Amino acid sequence: MTSLHSKIPAGPLAEKWTSYKWTQNLVNPANKRKLDIIVVGTGLAGASAAASFGELGFKVKAFCIHDSPRRAHSIAAQGGINATKNYKNDGDSVYRLFYDTIKGGDYRSREANVYRLAEVSGPIIDQCVAQGVPFAREYGGLLDNRSFGGALVSRTFYARGQTGQQLLLGAYGALCKEVNKGSVTMYTRREMMDLVIVDGRARGIIVRNTLTGELERHSAHAVLLATGGYGNVFFLSTMAMNSNGSAAWQCYKKGAYFGNPCFTQIHPTCIPVHGDYQSKLTLMSESLRNDGRIWVPKKAEDAEKIRMGTLRPTEIPDDNRDYYLERRYPAFGNLVPRDVASRAAKERCDAGFGVGSTGLAVYLDFEDAINRLGRNAIEAKYGNLFQMYEKIVDENPYNTPMMIFPAVHYIMGGLWVDYELQTTIPGLFAAGEANFSDHGANRLGASALMQGLSDGYFILPYTIQNYLADQIGVPRFKTDLPEFEKAERDVFDRIQRLLSIKGHRTVDSIHKELGHIMWNHVGMGRNGEGLAKAIELIRNLREEFWKEVKVPGKATDVNIELEKAIRLADYLEIGELMARDALHREESCGGHFREEYQTPEGEALRNDQDFAYVAAWEYTGYGKEPELHKEHIEFENIEVKQRNYKTS
C-alpha cells in the first residue's frame, strides 16, 4: 500500500522551492544520455517538458494522438496567461497571485505548490517572449496586460484571443528544435493504451498506432503523463473531440491514485446548446468580461417575451435589466471567478429569467463598452471572438448582446501527485491538466496555461532528476519482458472484445446518454440523491455498452469508431468515480456545489472541519468500490475563510 506523502519541503513558504532545488539530486550530463523519458501528450505541459528534458540531455520519446503536436487542445485557450510581473505597478506580487489562486480554488489546494507556481510565473513570460511569442504590446514596445476573474490586478499576458495557440506554438517550436537535434523522438498518431510497471516502477507504455492499428511497446526510465482532462465525459464540453481521459484512467487502474475527480470547472461564458446533433460547445473567452456586462431581464414577463421571440434585448431599458453579478458582487462585479459566475447564471435561469428560445442563456452585453471606447477599440481587443460568435450563432454581437451559458471546460481533478509531480507509482509523473494539483476546487482564468508551462519548463526538469538520479545504474529496458507482453495482450483482448459485441447502438448514442446523466446529476448543482442515482444509471449504461455497442471495421486500420469506443469504455468508469467523489464530499467548494450545503445567500458553504483534504482514490478492481485516502491540507500562511467577492 502506498502512503500519501506530499513531500512538501520544510521551511518557510517562500524558501521551499529554493531549498528543494538546493538539496535535490541531479544527474550528470554523461549519465543523462543513458536515461530515457517517455512523455505522453504534447500540449503545453508535455511539449514544454519534452523540450526541456531534451535540452538537458535526456533521451526523450514524445507521443501525441494528433498528426502533429501543434494540434493539442492547449491551442484553444483564448484569453491569456497570468504572471506576477507587476509591469502595471498595480500592486501585484508572488504572494498576491498565490493568495488569489488559493482563494480562487476555495482553499482546497496545497500552499507550497501554489506558491511555487506563482514564483515561476514570471520566468514563463520571459521564456515565451524569447521564443518569439507575439504577446500584445503597448505603443512604447513593452508588454500589455489585461484582467481576469478572481483578481484585482491586471496580470494577464495575452496574444489577441489566441494566447494558447501562441504559447503552444512556442513550446512546439522548442520541441521541434529538440527533434531536429535528435534528443527527442516524436511519435504522432499514437494513443496510449496502458502503462507498464516493472518491479513496482513505471517503465513503459503500450500505444496504439491509430493509422495501422498496430500495438507498440515503448520502454523508459520514467514516464510523464501530460494528457489533459476528461471533460468529454459530459459529451458536450469545450474540450476538443479527441481530448480524453483514457491514459490517466489506465494509470489509475495500474495503481496511481486519482485526486479530487469530481472537481470540474463549468465555464460561465460559452455559446449555449442549440440542438441534439451538437458535437461540442464553444467557449467565449473570459477576457470578454473585462468589457462585457452580464444581465437578464428584471421582469419575468420580459424574459418570457424574449423566449417567445416577441421582444428584443435591445428594447429593454437599462432600468429593467438585472446586472446580477454587479448587484450581488459589487467588488468584483462581472469579474468574479468562474464557478461563482456560472452558478449565478444558473440561479437566474432556474428562477425563470433566462433568455434565448430555451431559457438557458443570459446576455453578455458590449453596448456600454462600445459607447465608451468605440467599436474599433472593441474590435481590436476581441475581433476574432466576435467573428467566431457570429459564425456560429448568425447574429452580430456588435449590435445585439451575446447569449451565453455555462459549459464544462476544465477538470481540476486528475492523477494525484506529490510536490515533485510524481504519482503514487514511482517513476510515473503527471503534468498540466492531467494532474490534480494547484487549482483546488476551482481554477482561475488564465491559470491553466501558467500551470502547464510551469510544470513543463520549470518544475519537472528539476524534480524528475531527483527521481532519475538513483536510476543511473539501470540499463535501457528491453520490451520483451513479460510485463510488456501481458500489458499488450490485455490491450489486444480489450480491443477484440469491443469489436466482437456487434450490438445495436452507436458509440455516440451511448456517450450522449452518459453526458446527460453527468450534466443533470454531476454538473453545476449536485445533491446526494441525484449523485446516488447517477452511480446507478452509469453502472446500468456501462452494462448496456458492453452488450449493445456497435463498432464496425477492423482493429488493424484507421478505425475512428473503435478509438471512440475505447475512450467511452473508460468514461463510463470515470463518470462513476466522479459521482462517487462528489457524493462523499458533503460540502460545497469551488466548482463542486452540493445543493444541501449553501449559505442563506446561495454561496458555496465549505466544511473545513471535515473536508479540508484531497480525496485520493485507489482502484481496487473492476466493479469494486475504490478506497479513499485523505491528504489533509494545512494552511500555515493564509487565513482560511469564506470566499468573499462582494467587498475587496
Partner 1 sequence: MIKNNNNKSMDLTLKIWRQENAQARGRFETYKVTGISPDCSFLEMLDILNEKLVMEGVEPVAFDHDCREGICGACSLYINGRPHGPDHGITTCQLHMRKFKDGDTIIIEPWRAKAFPVIKDLMVDRSAFDRIIQVGGYISVNTGAAPDANSIPVSKENADSSMDAAACIGCGACVAACKNASAMLFISAKVSQLALLPQGRPEAARRVQIMVSKMDELGFGNCTNTYACEAECPKEIKVTNIARMNREFFSAKVCGEKKK
**Interaction with partner 1 in 383-412: which residues (CB under 8 A)?**
387-388, 391-395, 403
Q: At what angle do helices 560-584 and 482-501 cross, to 10 degrees?
A: 100
Segment contacting partner 1 by CB under 8 A, of 327-335, 501-509, 608-616, 627-635: 501-509
H-only helix segments in 13-79: 16-23, 29-32, 44-56
By CB under 8 A, tell whether 169 contacts partner 1: yes
Three-state secondary-structure class, residue 111: helix
Query: For partner 1, which is the closer residue by CB, 330 or 553?
Result: 553
Answer left, alpha or beta for residue 272, where phi above 0 means left and psi between -120 and 50 means alpha.
beta
**Among residues 88, 201, 280, 298, which is the contact residue for partner 1, using CB under 8 A?**
280
Rule CB under 8 A: choose which of 32, 34, 59, 70 binds partner 1. Answer: 70
Q: Which is nearer to partner 1, 207 or 340 (CB)?
A: 207
Q: Which stretch binds partner 1 (CB under 8 A): 63-71, 105-113, 468-476, 489-497?
A: 63-71
Window 6 to 45, contacts with partner 1 (CB under 8 A): none
**What Rg do the C-alpha atoms of the chain give, in angstroms?**
24
Q: Find the binder of partner 1 among 3, 89, 130, 199 (CB under 8 A).
A: 130
To partner 1, the closest distance from the beta carbon of 71 in angstroms equals 4
Least Cβ distance, residue 173 to partner 1 (angstroms): 3
The residue within the footprint of partner 1, chosen from 129, 311, 469, 501 (CB under 8 A), is 129
Cα separation, 449 vs 168, whole angstroms: 9
Q: What are phi and psi of 496, to 5 degrees?
A: -60, -40
**Contact (CB, 8 A) for 136 and 156:** no
Piece in contact with partner 1 (CB under 8 A), picked from 14-22, 269-277, 295-303, 323-331: 269-277
Catalytic residue among 338, 542, 567, 606: 338
Of the candidates 238, 80, 251, 41, the one whose C-alpha atom is nearest the C-alpha of residue 163 is 80
Interface residue with partner 1, options 67, 301, 315, 493 (CB under 8 A):
67
Is 636 a residue that touches partner 1 (CB under 8 A)?
A: no
For 116-127, give one letter per residue: b (16+ CB within 10 A) or e. Answer: bbbbbbeebbeb
Q: Which of 38, 45, 51, 62 binds partner 1 (CB under 8 A)?
A: 51
Which of 19, 212 has the CB closer to partner 1?
Answer: 212
Question: In the 8-state DSSP scheme, what is residue 471?
Answer: G
We find the least distance from the C-beta atom of residue 432 to partner 1, in angstroms, to be 16
User: 361 vs 537, which CB is nearer to partner 1?
Assistant: 361
Instruction: Determine how β-strand 201-209 pairs with β-strand 190-198.
Output: antiparallel
Binding mask 194-233 for partner 1 (x = CB under 8 A): -----------------x----------------------
Q: According to CB under 8 A, which one of 180, 310, 371, 609 is a site residue for partner 1?
A: 180
Strand (E) or helix (H) holding 117: helix 111-130
Q: Return all residues near 308 (Cβ < 8 A) that are at least 6 apart.
A: none
Residue at grid coordinates 523540450: 51
Residue (393 or 481) nearer to partner 1, CB: 393
- Using the rule CB under 8 A, which residue among 15, 138, 315, 529 binds partner 1? 138
**Based on CB atoms, which residue is closest to partner 1, 336 or 355?**
355
Residues in Cβ contact with 617 at an 8 Å cutoff, skipping those fewer than 6 apart: 252, 257, 258, 259, 261, 577, 580, 581, 626, 627, 628, 629
What beta strand segments (E) does 175-290 contain? 184-187, 190-198, 201-209, 215-219, 222-225, 258-259, 264-270
Among 40, 45, 114, 159, binds partner 1 (CB under 8 A): 159
- The residue written with cell numbers 498576491 in the block is 96
* Cβ nearer to partner 1, comparing 368 with 395: 395
Q: Which cell numbers hold the place of 42?
A: 504534447
The correct pick among 8, 198, 273, 481 for binding partner 1 (CB under 8 A) is 273
Q: CB 2 → partner 1: shortest distance, Å? A: 31
Nearer to partner 1, 427 or 461 (CB): 461
Give me the residue label for grid cell 521564443.
131
- Residue 110 known to be catalytic: no
What's the min distance (Å) between Cβ of 302 and partner 1?
18
Window 73-112: residues binding partner 1 (CB under 8 A): 73, 75-76, 85, 87
Positions in 287-316 near partner 1 (CB under 8 A): 309
- Region near partner 1 per CB under 8 A, out of 252-260, 502-510, 591-599, 618-626: 502-510
Spatial distance between the Cα atoms of 358 and 403, rounded to a whole number of angstroms: 11
- When asked if residue 278 is in the footprint of partner 1 (CB under 8 A), the reply is yes
* Cα 501 to Cα 569: distance, rounded to the nearest angstrom: 13
Among 147, 156, 166, 463, binds partner 1 (CB under 8 A): 166
- Judged by CB under 8 A, the stretch of 13-21, 126-134, 441-449, 636-644 that binds partner 1 is 126-134
**CB closer to partner 1, 448 vs 487:** 448
Joined grid coordinates for residue 411: 477538470
Candidate ranges 30-38, 234-242, 246-254, 616-624; the one touching partner 1 (CB under 8 A): 234-242
Q: Which of residues 545-604 bind partner 1 (CB under 8 A)?
A: 550, 552-553, 557-558, 560-561
Count of positions on this chain that bind partner 1 (CB under 8 A): 93
Q: From residue 612, give the alpha-carbon distance in Å to each of 555, 589, 609, 633.
A: 46, 10, 7, 6
* DSSP annotation string for 157-174: E-STT-HHHHHHHHHHHH
**Residue with smaller CB distance to partner 1, 274 or 516:** 274
Angle at 412 between CA 411 and CA 417, to 5 degrees: 120
Q: Segment 328-387, which members bind partner 1 (CB under 8 A)?
A: 356-358, 360-361, 387
CB contact set of 228 (below 8 Å; sequence gap of 6+): 41, 43, 72, 73, 239, 243, 432, 433, 434
Query: In terms of CB distance, is 37 or 335 closer to partner 1?
Result: 37
CA distance 170 to 47: 9
What residues are annotated to the active site?
A: 338
